Amino acid sequence: MLNFRCPNCEITADETDLHCDGQAHIERFGAGASDDDLETYLFMRHNPKGVHFERWRHVFGCGKWFNAARCTVTLEVFGTYSAQSLVPPKSLINKIKKKRPEWEGFVK
Amino acid sequence: MKRYSAFAIAKNALSHHQGWERAWAKPQMKKEYDAVIVGAGGHGLATAFYLGKNYGITNVAIIEKGWLGGGNTGRNTTIIRSNYLQDPSAAIYEKARSLYETMSQDLNYNVMFSPRGVMMLAQTEAEIRGYKRTAHANKLQGVKTEYIGPQKVKDLCPIIELSGPRYPVLGALWQPRGGTARHDAVAWGYARACSEMGMDIIQQCEVTGVTQSRGKVTGLQTSKGDIKCKKLGIVVAGNSGHLAEMAGFRLPLESVALQALVSEPIKPCMDVVVMANTVHGYMSQSDKGEMVIGGGTDGFNNYTQRGSFHHLEETVRALIETFPMVSRLKMLRHWGGIVDVTGDRSPIISKTPLSGCFINCGWGTGGFKAIPGSGWAMAELMAKDEQTGLGAQFGLNRFQEGRFIDESVAAGVAH
């Protein structure tokens, strides 16, 4: 079972306390955007075999959103951080790079 | 290739069954093919088969990373049905179902298709309305289904408990010509037929790159060397995103784990397939007597081919309410498969930005039932190089055009 430390309430929560809402850091487009941009925003998703950045919500807890970095192959959770971040924190990226030297880095 | 028949069994019995030949050849990879299919699962093999059968294209290689039929074709709950709401889906799934009916004869390979009937239980008021709507839509589409009341449900499946405390059974959508088939045999039967047509099935061969020149596909790099091809079909389910990246385009897909489990074998107690979508579980009895149980997907991207225990518990807990007798059963095996899910829960059978490269993916949690129809449509797409026929509506451009085939709402469940 996945375990996350919620950065909002500092509680370590199980997967059953949480809800995943897919890829984090999606750039949003609205009215007036091009077809390509709108399609990317609505449907195109990163689907990596490896390091993935996601939005999670601590539904059966504080109820707040946070972001997490997780490996989709080993299910290892690298860390969590505030949902207000536009990009993952440097410290987390360095931590992942240390563990996964072959990882190409964060791609928006 | 020797034909399988009762006579052949009798004849081979005289030589202690030592005389059977290999079902499919183990060829050396050639340098060049007219078409290469990546992925020797049901969908890939069916694509190759119909390329040969319907369009006479037999200079074909089917490349497989693992072993043939070892992905989701060997990991599903073998349910076959076509009671979909939207016209394009009903058409392709009904085509698949009708091809299953004659598959054993067509392939000269017993796929043990058993049209035992599939019912989808209505356990809420909303589901009653939803399934009645589907039954009406199916009538217009020429798919034979019927909405039945609780008493008929009980008659068809006596082990159901109708008055469950949380989710009573209020009725069901009944498709009498749905059923199950032997999943491995579908892959093996197609493989044997493809091999007989002279196609090369290359197993244990991983694709490492797609070569292209001036926007057109020219070949593949693989762990067994480079090959040239005029046309490339990518039919790799959960790994589609990975292959698409090599070919230089993105897909609107996410890969998640879907799990299933089987019980110890018991005496025959249920001769239909029952799906309970509100509580998210479905069950049928295999010919060996095992109860085959399928559940829902985990809610996050996953490539591990195993799912969360709590999802398993939810599935079994839900089924115990509807089938109290399963509470005493021991579960024998449990496994997961990686399914590729699109935004509208309908598959992609499409041309791609790379000319000569075609993709068939996004079957999500319901690919087995579609194998022959999917192969039929994909072969048509590859042979004609245009988005037409059975797969016409399933192009990648539908996401940009907002022209969805919205089955996530239609079924109300991952399926």
Q: In chain B, pLDDT over 90 holds for what percent of residues?
A: 80
What value, to the nearest 5°, has the Cα angle with vertex B384 and ends B379 and B385? Answer: 95
Contacts of B299 in chain A (CB under 8 A): 19-20
In order of A1, A64, B86, B107, B181, the CA distances from B104 in angstroms are 42, 55, 29, 5, 10
- Helix-, strand-, coil-residue percentages of chain A, each rounded to 5: 20, 30, 50
Residues B335 and B405 in one domain: no
Contact between B399 and A35 using a beta-carbon 8 Å cutoff: no
CA distance B113 to chain A (A): 35
Of B342, B360, B382, at which residue does a domain stop? B342
How far is residue A46's CA from residue B252's CA, in Å, rounded to a whole number?
Answer: 9
Q: Which of B38, B47, B30 is nearest to B210 (CA)?
A: B38
B257-307 per-position pLDDT tens digit = 999 999 999 999 999 999 988 878 899 999 999 999 998 888 899 998 888
Contacts of B309 in chain A (CB under 8 A): 1
Helix (H) or strand (E) holding B275: strand B273-276
| Residues in contact with B271: Cβ distance below 8 Å, sequence separation at least 6, in sequence order | B116, B285
Q: Strand pairing partners for B340? A: B255
Mean pLDDT of chain B: 93
Least confident of B30-39, B336-345, B348-357: B336-345
Contact between B241 and A47 using a beta-carbon 8 Å cutoff: yes
Of B342, B370, B386, at which residue does a domain stop? B342
In which residue are the tokens 């390979």 written?
A: B109
Out of B253, B300, B342, closest to residue A20 by CB: B300
Position B412 pLDDT exceeds 70: no
| Residues in contact with B358: Cβ distance below 8 Å, sequence separation at least 6, in sequence order | B231, B232, B233, B234, B349, B350, B351, B352, B378, B381, B382
CA distance B367 to chain A (A): 19
How far is residue B179's CA from residue B177's CA, in Å, rounded to a whole number?
Answer: 7
Residues B280 and B171 in one domain: yes
Mutate to test the interface with B, among A45, A55, A67 (most CBs of B within 10 A): A45
Contact between A72 and B343 using a beta-carbon 8 Å cutoff: no
Contacts of B301 in chain A (CB under 8 A): 22, 47-48, 52, 54, 72
Mean pLDDT of chain A: 94
Burial class from Cβ neighbours inside 10 Å (0-12, 13-18, 19+) for residue B118 reads: buried
In a domain? residue B67: yes
In a domain? residue B108: no
Say which DSSP state B114 is in.
B
How far is residue B132's CA from residue B138's CA, in Å, rounded to a whole number?
Answer: 10
Position B110 pLDDT exceeds 80: yes
Please state the domain count of chain A.
Answer: 1
Residue A28 has a CB neighbour count (10 Å cut-off) of 9
Q: Please indicate if any CB of chain A lies within 8 Å of the CB of B404.
A: no
Query: How far, rounded to the nearest angstrom, does the alpha carbon of residue B282 sit from its chain's CA centroid?
Result: 16
In a domain? residue B74: yes
What value, to the nearest 5°, has the Cα angle with vertex B337 and ends B334 and B338? Answer: 150
B2 — pLDDT class (breaks 50, 70, 90): confident
CA-nearest residue to B309 within chain A is: A1
Residues B298 and B204 in one domain: no
How far is residue B43's CA from residue B143's CA, in Å, rounded to a whole number?
Answer: 22
In a domain? residue A86: yes
In a domain? residue B86: no
Inter-residue contact B149 to B186 (CB < 8 Å): no
Residues B270 and B224 in one domain: no
Say which DSSP state B365 is in.
T
How far is residue A69's CA from residue A79's CA, in Å, rounded to a whole number?
Answer: 6
B32-52 per-position pLDDT tens digit = 999 999 999 999 999 999 999
B414 — pLDDT class (breaks 50, 70, 90): very low
Of B286, B308, B342, at which residue does a domain stop? B342
**Residue length of chain B:** 415
Please state the domain count of chain B.
Answer: 2
Residues B234 and B272 in one domain: no
B residues 250-289 lying closer than 8 A (beta carbon) to A? 250-255
Inter-residue contact B171 to B125 (CB < 8 Å): no
Name which residue leads in pLDDT, B396 or A107: B396
In this structure, what token pair is assigned to residue A99? 């563990």
Mutate to test the interface with B, among A43, A70, A107 (most CBs of B within 10 A): A43
Residues B246 and B265 in one domain: no
User: Can you list the alpha helix ranges (DSSP code H) found in chain A?
Assistant: 35-42, 90-99
Contact between B302 and A44 using a beta-carbon 8 Å cutoff: no
CA distance B306 to chain A (A): 10
In a domain? residue A106: no
CATH code, domain carrying A16:
3.30.2270.10
Out of B241, B242, B399, closest to residue A43 by CB: B399
How many CB pairs lie under 8 A apart between chains A and B? 58
In a domain? residue B7: no
The mean pLDDT of A22-27, rounded to a whole number, is 94
| ipTM value | 0.92
In a domain? residue B45: yes
The torsion angles phi and psi of B267, rounded to 5 degrees, stand at -65, 160
Say which DSSP state B138 is in.
H
Collapse the DSSP code of A80 into the 3-class scheme (helix H, G, I; strand E, B; otherwise coil) and give the result.
Answer: strand
Contact between A22 and B309 using a beta-carbon 8 Å cutoff: no
Contacts of A72 in chain B (CB under 8 A): 255, 301-304
B residues 334-373 lying closer than 8 A (beta carbon) to A? 340, 342-343
Out of B253, B304, B342, closest to residue A75 by CB: B304
Burial class from Cβ neighbours inside 10 Å (0-12, 13-18, 19+) for residue B197 reads: middle
In a domain? residue A104: no
Out of B310, B343, B399, closest to residue A16 by CB: B310
Q: Residue B39's domain spans which residues?
A: 28-78+183-252+344-411
How far is residue B272's CA from residue B80's CA, in Å, rounded to a whole number?
Answer: 12
Residue type for A96, please?
A: I
Position B388 pLDDT exceeds 80: yes
Q: What is the pLDDT of residue B411?
A: 53
B221-237 per-position pLDDT tens digit = 999 999 999 999 999 99
In a domain? residue B107: no
In a domain? residue A69: yes
Determine how β-strand B32-38 pairs with β-strand B60-63. parallel
How far is residue B383's CA from residue B380's CA, in Å, rounded to a whole number?
Answer: 5
Q: What is the pLDDT of residue B409?
A: 59
Residues B221 and B242 in one domain: yes
CA distance A67 to chain B (A): 13
Residues B168 and B261 in one domain: yes
How far is residue A68's CA from residue A22's CA, in Å, rounded to a whole number?
Answer: 10
Residues B240 and B273 in one domain: no
Rg (C-alpha) for chain B, rounded Å, is 21
Residue B34 has a CB neighbour count (10 Å cut-off) of 14
Q: Residue A45's domain spans which residues?
A: 3-99
In a domain? residue B21: no
